[in-house]
Structure 1
Amino acid sequence: MNIIYFLVGIIATTIGAISGIGGGVIIKPVLDTLGNYDISTISILSSFTVFSMSIVALLKSIKNKVKLDGKRTISLAIGSIIGGILGKNLFTLFLAALNNNLLGQKIQSTTLFILMGVVLILYINEGKIKGFRVNNIGFCALIGIILGIISSFLGIGGGPINVIALMYILGMGSKESSIHSIFIIFFSQGSKLLSVFLSEGFSVYNLEVLPFMVVGGIMGGFIGSYLLGKMKKNNIKNLLHILC
Structure 2
Amino acid sequence: MEILFFVICFFASVIGAICGIGGGVIIKPLLDAFKILDVSQISFLSGCTVLSMSAYSVIRSKISKDRELKFAKIFPVAVGSAIGGVAGKWLFSFVKSISSNPNKVGAVQASCLLVVTLFTLLFTLFKNRIATKKIKNCGISFTVGLFLGLMSSFLGIGGGPINLVVLFYLFSMSTKEAVITSLYIIFISQLASLGALAFTNEIPDFSLGLLMIMSAGGILGGVVGRIVNKKIEEKMVEKLFIGLMVVIMGINLYNIFSLW
Settle same-fold status: TM greater than 0.5. Answer: yes
Query: Are 1:62 and 2:74 counterparts?
Result: no
Q: Match of 2:18?
A: 18
Q: Which one is further off, 98-107 or 173-182?
A: 98-107
1:98 is displaced (CA, Å) by 1.6
Q: Which one is further off, 206-215 or 170-179?
A: 206-215
**Equivalences, count:** 243
Q: Match of 2:189?
A: 188
* TM-score calculated relative to the size of structure 2: 0.90
Q: Match of 2:200?
A: 199
CA contact (8 A) 1:38 1:101 kept: yes
Alignment deviations for residues 206-225 of structure 1 (CA, whole Å, 9 cap, x no partner): 23521110000110111111
Alignment deviations for residues 75-120 of structure 1 (CA, whole Å, 9 cap, x no partner): 1110110000010111111100123211111111111111100000
Structure 2: gaps (5+ residues): 246-260
Secondary structure of 1:21's partner?
Answer: coil
Q: Match of 2:78?
A: 77
Q: Match of 1:115?
A: 116
Q: Which one is further off, 60-69 or 78-87?
A: 60-69
Secondary structure of 2:127's partner?
Answer: coil
1:201 is displaced (CA, Å) by 4.8
Q: Match of 2:248?
A: none
* TM-score calculated relative to the size of structure 1: 0.96
How many Å separate the matches in 2 of 1:129 and 1:153?
29
CA contact (8 A) 2:159 2:183 kept: no
CA contact (8 A) 2:18 2:228 kept: yes
Q: Match of 1:149?
A: 150
Secondary structure of 1:169's partner?
Answer: helix
Structure 1: gaps (5+ residues): none
Q: Give the share of equivalent positions with the same residue, in percent.
A: 37
Query: Are 1:5 and 2:1 counterparts?
Result: no
- The within-5 A match list for 1:1-244 is 1-67=1-67, 68-202=69-203, 204-208=204-208, 209-244=210-245
CA contact (8 A) 1:159 1:182 kept: no
After superposition, the CA RMSD in angstroms is: 1.2
Secondary structure of 2:11's partner?
Answer: helix
How many Å separate the matches in 2 of 1:88 and 1:14?
26
Secondary structure of 2:129's partner?
Answer: coil
